[in-house]
Amino acid sequence: MTDDSRNAQNPHVETELVVAHGIAALVALSIAAVFGLIVSLQFFLPDLTGSSLPLGWGRLRYAHTQGVMIAWLGNAFLAFLYHAVPMLSGQSVTSRKLGLWLFGIWNFAVVLPGWVLVLAGVSQPLEWAEFPLPVDAFVMVALALAAVQFLPAFFRRGLETLYVSSWYIIGALVFTFLSFPMGNVVPEFVPGAAGAAFSGLWIHDAVGLFVTPLALAILYFVIPASTGRPIFSHFLSMLGFWGLFFLYPLNGTHHYVYSVIPMAAQVGAIAASALLGVIVVIVVTNLLLSLRGAGLFPRDVALRFVALATIFYLVVSVQGAMQAQMSLQQAVHFTDWVVGHSHLAMLGFASFAGVGGLIHAWQRIPSARYNATALEVAFGLMTLGIVAMFVDLTLAGLTQAELWANGAPWLESVRDSERYWVTRTTSGVLLAAGFVAALTGLTTGPRGAGAQALQSAGGAPSTSAVTPRLAPASAGAGQALKMSYVVAGVAGIVFFAMSVTLLGVWPERVLATQAALMAPANPLGINAAEERGREIYAREGCAYCHTQQIRYTEADIARFGSPTLAWETRFDVPHLWGTRRIGPDLARAAGTRTENWHYVHLYAPRNVAPLSIMPSYAALFDGSPDRPTQAARDLVAYIETLGRARALAWPDADAAAAAAVPNDPWAQMAFAAPSLNAHPGRTQARGGAPALDNAAAAENGAELWDNYCVGCHGESGRGDGPAAQWLLPRPTNLAEHEYTLNRLTDALWNGVYGTSMPAWRDHSAANRAALAEVVLGFSEVEPGPTPSAAQLALGQNVYAQHCAECHGGGGSGDGFAANDLPIPVAPTDFRSQRIAYEAGVGVVENGVAGTSMAPWTDRLTTAEIEAVVHYVRSLFDGDN
């Protein structure tokens, strides 16, 4: 490739590096988009990639976001810097050789190994920081090399002559280097809530100190270069620059509003977010005024991308400032609203700026291929795609927020989201097609056609007269400006340090004190197997669907239980708090489900939860759920640690902690929660169920059955659902049982303790009544042979001798041994349920696997067995 830009007047532009990074960027974007598409398809085709762990949802999700930020935007920004820095500074970059090293490290020591390692299961479960530590080290090296490559050019002339894009580039390279370790390294050493506080800093700094400044550098560069007119106000641009760099680092904690992180840090971050919104309005106003005269639809496609990026920046920033506010955050956090926000930031604002910048540079590389038609197509597809995706995910988020706030069953929010997820994938296809079109546009077509396209668009600036507009600065004023920039630069560093201190270091101290005050003596830790399970949980991205933090909100307390305290997260290195709830929060998962249920759920999730969209983890099993590998055992063991320490110490430890911090209203909110574990499916002892009224039953009983029960009990209630073969005790064959409404009311409210039959307390009384009706309708129990008086007398005698100790003298399941059974499944209450005669004989002869009911054929004769079955059937008294 020739470099036609080499001439006596212009600084040397490393066009080969522009092209190399540019093509790498667009190839990476296309790959990252494919990762994203597969991930999005798995929301409604959860078995799409089978049980392949490398192609599992979590690993692909890690690869998608790191691909967009590091592989795509990182390369795109570097490409643009090679074009822009010589023009901004009037100087060449430091070294072409250094550029080759930087290209090599960025792509072959960061992007490729990062993707390979993440897909191989070596990663960090940290948002925007998923590449593992060794890769992070190379990112730091690359950032240092980038600083050496690009920054010296700016400092060879006075600070007072630096254009705003130069400031953004300097700021981005310096502050990204400083902030990158906050989210990528610190949480690997600082546990739990404190680690999350540091992680939150990076979640925002990644966007605010890396992506946004470099995208804005492109906007401030391309707009005047394309329109041929200077920006509206350099003063406003500098006000915006310093405002953004002061305020962005102070936003981080707004990702953990209503968490245990000190409220002062949360409110401070919220205030900074609101102020940031004001600054962004100033920035965007200045950019839009700079676009005046370019028209609503500029003919230069590069300018069009950049103009739309400006609009997206306004929308996403105002939205961000809004959603940081507590009232909105309470509702929409963890929903797809936030996912829509982040997509608009990264694939709308930043990517449109990135593509616009690349096209702008390409138009000025005579040796570069340029396909104008493909780029027009790219603009259309990308615009349609991102607008549709943003609107769709915003609506999805509002839908989820409403359902969660109303206490609807969790899976209803999953079911109602499906239409939005289908639309999201469709919009993603448009976006991905747009990315491929952009790649096509910059790799096909005639060489040098970019300049012609620019001329024909009428966007080429006049080059007829190059005369300085201003007289040279007076020495005094120039010195004052220089000093003010130096002062502001120092202040920027101070503000960054302040953000780390106020939102990272100080909260860590407060949380440590809080943990010391509130933790029980010697809380139970986790063992080696559980730690191994935690690593599996982390590498598979479980925390990206299931949060592990119950927030200090009424909705969270009602659905999940007492909010998470600081000491409960003390072993979480790195933390697994998560930022999205596709599945329910798991902070109190311990003791909520049976081990059996977990194995089936991991192996074939829809067998126990037909509406679930969880991926299958069959790869952790040796062919079936009853043959878990050590990895599956470890994973389930880890899940059973979530919330365990506090549950074991409860309620005494909570009472002591409450007394220790009487004036902490947030802590008191945790201790005043009605229940420690409010999971609506958690089984509990019989009793206390609100009465059901069959007259008020919902009409969709059959649908409810299909959605929630069919996996275990089967379509006709015979206990032959797809999960049944792996559950112990097996699901009840409802066709051979007759129940009282009270018994069903109790089972639906409390579940059946010790079995995989969960409670359904999150369903309305109308729904539970409808399900009870369905169950009653399954019964095929017939009167059976009529027993003689002698048989009943024999049966009563046998019962008194052998059965009453468990089932109670009156058959109510309340015998003296009922509470001390080796397998803690409550004995049957014969007064509220009656088994078919033949089935009853089978139970006595064979026992019930998975319960304490043993076979009796070695101790009872056939006549005795038949007699006792007749007797227990006679105990059934309907609803009387």
Q: Which two tokens stand for residue 336?
A: 């797809």
For another protein, the closer CB: 491 or 661:
491
CB of 638 to another protein, least distance (A): 35
Determine, following the binding rule CB under 8 A, whether residue 247 of this chain makes contact with another protein: yes
- DSSP, residue by residue, 88-137: HHSS--S-HHHHHHHHHHIIIIIIHHHHHHHHTT----STT--S-HHHHH
Q: Which of 29, 129, 190, 250 binds another protein (CB under 8 A)?
A: 250
Which of 133, 144, 289, 480 lies at the binding interface for another protein (CB under 8 A)? 480
**Residue 161 interacting with another protein (CB under 8 A):** yes
Q: Does 272 bind another protein (CB under 8 A)?
A: yes
643: left (phi over 0), alpha (psi -120 to 50) or beta: left
Report the residue number, 293 or 674, with the smaller CB distance to another protein: 293
Stretch that binds another protein, among 19-27, 428-436, 457-465, 586-594 (CB under 8 A): 457-465
β-pairing, 833-835 vs 737-739, is: antiparallel
Window 2 to 41, contacts with another protein (CB under 8 A):
4-7, 9-10
Closer CB to another protein, residue 229 or residue 633? 229
Q: Is 254 in the site for another protein (CB under 8 A)?
A: no
**Residue among 759, 789, 779, 782 at smallest CA distance from 677:** 759
Nearer to another protein, 249 or 813 (CB): 249
Amino acid at 738: E
Q: How many residues bind another protein (CB under 8 A)?
A: 71
Q: Per CB under 8 A, which of residues 363..422 are in contact with another protein?
A: 364, 366, 370
CB of 315 to another protein, least distance (A): 22
Q: From the list 48, 264, 326, 558, which residue makes contact with another protein (rule: CB under 8 A)? A: 264
Closest to another protein by CB, 358 or 635: 358
Site for another protein in 163-182 (CB under 8 A): 163-166
Asked if 288 is part of the footprint of another protein (rule: CB under 8 A), the reply reads: no
Which residues on adjacent β-strands are paired with residue 677? Answer: 561
Cα–Cα distance list, 448 to 359, 452, 677 (Å): 12, 7, 66
Residue ranges in 67-126 that form contacts with another protein under rule CB under 8 A: 87-88, 90
Q: Could you give the 3-state DSSP secondary structure of residue 820? A: helix
Q: Which of 45, 122, 481, 839 binds another protein (CB under 8 A)?
A: 481
Interaction between residue 504 and another protein (CB under 8 A) = no
| Residue placing its CB nearer to another protein in the complex, 407 or 478 | 478
Peptide bond into 366 cis (omega under 30): no
Residues 787-846 touching another protein, rule: CB under 8 A, are none
- Asked if residue 575 lies in contact with residue 187, where contact means CB atoms within 8 angstroms, the answer is yes
One-letter amino acid at 29 equals L
Task: Please identify, using beta-carbon distances, which residue of 369 and 601 lies nearer to another protein.
Answer: 369
Per-residue tokens: 308? 């739309």
CB of 309 to another protein, least distance (A): 19
18 vs 339 by CB, closer to another protein = 18
x/- site string to another protein, residues 217 to 236, per CB under 8 A?
Answer: -------xx--xxxx-xxx-
| 164/752 with CB nearer another protein | 164
| DSSP letter for each residue of 725-784 | GG-SSPPP-GGGEEE-HHHHHHHHHH--TTSS----TTS-HHHHHHHHHHHHHH------
Minimum CB distance to another protein smaller for 484 or for 801: 484
Q: How far apart are CA 231 and CA 220, in angstroms?
A: 7
Nearer to another protein, 29 or 88 (CB): 88
Report the alpha-carbon distance of residue 22 to residue 81 in Å, rounded.
11
Q: Is the omega angle on the peptide bond into residue 574 within 30 degrees of 0, that is, cis?
A: yes
Residue 487 tokens read as: 């002062």
DSSP 461-525: PP-S----SSPPPPHHHHHHHHHHHHHHHHHHHHHHHHHHIIIIIHHHHHHHHHHHHHSPSS---
Specify the length of the chain in residues.
880
Site membership for another protein, residue 513 (CB under 8 A): no
Instruction: Work out which of 71, 215, 502, 744 binds another protein, going by CB under 8 A.
Output: 502
Ranges within 291-330 binding another protein (CB under 8 A):
none
Q: Does 258 bind another protein (CB under 8 A)?
A: no
Report the nearest approach of another protein to the CB of residue 529 (Å): 41
Binding status of residue 474 toward another protein by CB under 8 A: yes
User: Which distant-in-sequence residues (6+ apart) come within 8 Å of 529 by Cβ?
Assistant: 633, 634, 637
When asked if residue 505 is in the footprint of another protein (CB under 8 A), the reply is no
